[in-house]
Amino acid sequence: MSLARKTLFVTGASRGIGLAIALAAARDGANVAIAAKTVKPDPRLPGTIFTAAEEVEKAGGKALPLACDIRDEQSVEKSVAETVARFGGIDILINNASAISLTGTLATQMKRYDLMHQINSRGTYMVSQKCIPHLLKAENPHVLNLSPPLDFDVKWFANHSAYTLAKFSMSVYAWAMAEEFKGRIAFNCLWPRTGIATAAIQNILGGEDGMKRCRKPEIMADAAYVILNKPAKTCTGNFFIDDEVLAAEGVTNFDKYAVSPGTPLMPDFFVPAEGARTVVGRT
């Protein structure tokens, strides 16, 4: 398996899972377009597009830092065009950028609702749309959305329906586009079984204690690496769970991914119960 000389367009790649995937590809000598909003350091959010580019280059890849707001069509079009001009095309799209607010109906401000749907739903759709013409020219094109299996158990909706719908929209688009572009571009989703140690956990969901109950972003990067190396014509329309992907590759010990080995792990949202009948598009 190798992503050498492949060009990845990664949204939200200045930190967290997006950066981890970028670095995994960079170690093969891949080209990485880092499409994200953070251009100046933020004390609550580590990393910028420029620090991420430095890490990609140090890992062995070629980086293109792009100040890109995926809510803005012109910004996306400009970033895609710059990527193609620099690297000659796009082989892989990682739809990673996302916004979260785990709030109920009365507590969800409409500006927060709009943000989640503009980034998660509309942004994912738009970035995919702008990259598809270039992906169609690639040898083994993949789109990977970091979004969950479509488990329509009401428990996932009851307490934060706005977020759930925005996140599920990403999965619906991958599911639909997998069929629309079947045999030409692979569209898949990848989701973690446990919490992943990112800024969202640190600042919103669990603080330091929550971080200790998470796995590192590298588990998602390693799973993504496996998926992106599969044949696009046959590996499409799937809703993958990170440790299932790696287990299928022979990984049996996941302790290296734990932030605090031996600490009970925090289960993530949206992971279906075994045998769940509400799941769409997952076997």
Active-site residue list: 163
Distance (Å, whole) CA 260 – CA 252 = 18
**Two tokens, residue 180:** 């629309």
d(CA 121, CA 123): 6
Q: How far apart are CA 150 and CA 153, in angstroms?
A: 9
The candidate with the shortest Cα–Cα distance to 219, out of 194, 189, 186, is: 194
What letter represents residue 148's amino acid? P
CA dist 143 and 127 (Å) reads 10
Residues in a beta bridge with 217: none
Distances (CA, A) of 86 to 32, 99, 103, 214: 10, 29, 41, 37
- Are 34 and 63 in contact, with CB atoms under 8 Å apart? yes
CB atoms within 10 A of CB 60: 14
Nearest alpha-carbon partner for 113 in 153, 165, 73: 165
3 state DSSP class of 150: strand
Sequence-separated (6 or more) residues with CB below 8 Å from residue 226 = 1, 245, 246, 249
Chain position carrying tokens 């001009």: 85
